[in-house]
Amino acid sequence: MTPSPSPRPLVYGHRGARADEPENTLRSFRRAHRAGAEGVELDIRLSRDGHLVVIHDATVDRTTDGTGAVAALSLAELRELDAGLGERIPTLAEALDAFPGLVQVEIKAPEAVAELAGLHGRTPLPGRVVLTSFHAEPLERAASLMPGVERGLISHHPETGLLERALELKATWVCPELAPGLTPELVARFHRAGLRVDAWPAADAERLARCVAIGADAVTTDHPALIDGWLTEI
C-alpha cells in the first residue's frame, strides 16, 4: 500500500493516555481507547524470569512505588508494585488484550526480541502490531526472527539518514521527532519510498497543526482526548 497524507492523522496515545493516567498501564490504554485513539505506543522489557513486561525505564523507581532494575525482578515481584492508582505493571499479552486497536511496541531491551519471537511462534502477534526502536539492531533481529511483523524506526533527527536506514531495515514506518528538519519535502520523500510517518510529540494544538501541515500519517501524543478538539482549531 502506498501511503498518502490525511487531514486527520491516526492518533497513537503515548504510553496510553499518559497525561491523564499512569503511563503504560491497562488503565491508561483503556482510557486512550475511550478517548478515540486508533493506537497506543508502549514499551517492553524483560523481567528476570523472562516475561515481556510493559514499562519504559530500565528501573521501576520513577513509575512505581518500588526500586531496582526491571531485569533484576521477577514477574511476581514486579506485580507487587503499584504503578499508580493501584495499577500493576502489565505483560505485553495483557496490554494487547486491553487495547483492541493499533499498537506500537517499542523495544527498550534488545534481549526482549528473542522472547517476542517465542511469543509470536506460540501465538502470532496481531497484524495491528508494529515493532519499533531507536536502534537498528533490535529491528534487524526482529526482521530475521519475525519477518512478517511490521517494523518502525524512531529518530530524534529525521533529516540525517532516517530514510536510508529505514529502507535498509525494510521498515514500513518511520517515527520522527517533530524537529526542524522534518519538512513537508522530507515527508513526501518518505511517502514516495512507501513509508508511513508517525510524528511526535503532538503536545499541543500548534504542534499538531504542524504535523498535519507536513503530511504526517499519524501522531503520537500524551493527550489523545484533546486531539479532535485541537483539530478544530487548525
Q: What are phi and psi of 187, to 5 degrees?
A: -60, -40
The tens digit of pLDDT for each residue in 67-106 reads 999 999 999 999 999 999 999 999 999 999 999 999 999 9
Coil, helix or strand for 37? coil
Residue 33 annotated to the active site: no
Q: What does the buried/exposed string (b/e) look like for 127-159 if buried means 16 or more CB atoms within 10 Å of the residue's CB?
A: eebbbbbeeeebbbbbbeebeebbbbbbbeebe
| pLDDT of 6 over the 90 cut | no
| Residue 2: CB atoms within 10 Å | 8
Q: Quick one: what percent of the chain has pLDDT higher than 70?
A: 97
Q: What does the pLDDT read at residue 45?
A: 98
Q: How far apart are CA 125 and CA 148, in angstroms?
A: 10
| pLDDT of 4 over the 90 cut | no
Three cell numbers, residue 50: 523472562
In DSSP terms, which residues pair with 150 in a beta bridge? 130
The CA angle 185-191-197, to the nearest 5 degrees, is: 90
Residue 14 annotated to the active site: yes
* Overall size of the chain counted in residues: 234
Q: What does the pLDDT read at residue 234?
A: 84
Q: What are phi and psi of 129, to 5 degrees?
A: -95, 135
Identity of residue 168: E
Q: Considering the entire predicted model, what is its pTM?
A: 0.96
Q: At what angle do helices 184-192 and 205-214 cross, to 10 degrees?
A: 50
Instruction: Give me the half-sphere count of Cα atoms (radius 13 Å) on the Cβ side of residue 158.
Output: 25
Name residues whose C-beta falls within 8 Å of residue 125's C-beta, 6 or more positions apart in sequence. 96, 116, 119, 146, 149
Q: What is the Rg, in whole angstroms, of the alpha carbon atoms belonging to the chain?
A: 17
From the candidates 14, 33, 51, 223, give the one annotated as an active-site residue. Answer: 14
Continuous H helices in 123-226: 136-145, 162-168, 184-192, 205-214
The tens digit of pLDDT for each residue in 42-64 reads 999 999 999 999 999 999 999 99
From the candidates 33, 56, 135, 191, give the one annotated as an active-site residue. Answer: 56
Q: How far apart are CA 182 and CA 199, in angstroms?
A: 9
What mean pLDDT is reported for the chain? 96
The tens digit of pLDDT for each residue in 141-161 reads 999 999 999 999 999 999 999
- Which residue ranges form the domains of the chain, and what is each CATH number? 10-57+90-231 (3.20.20.190)
Q: Cis peptide before 158, with omega less than 30 degrees from 0?
A: no
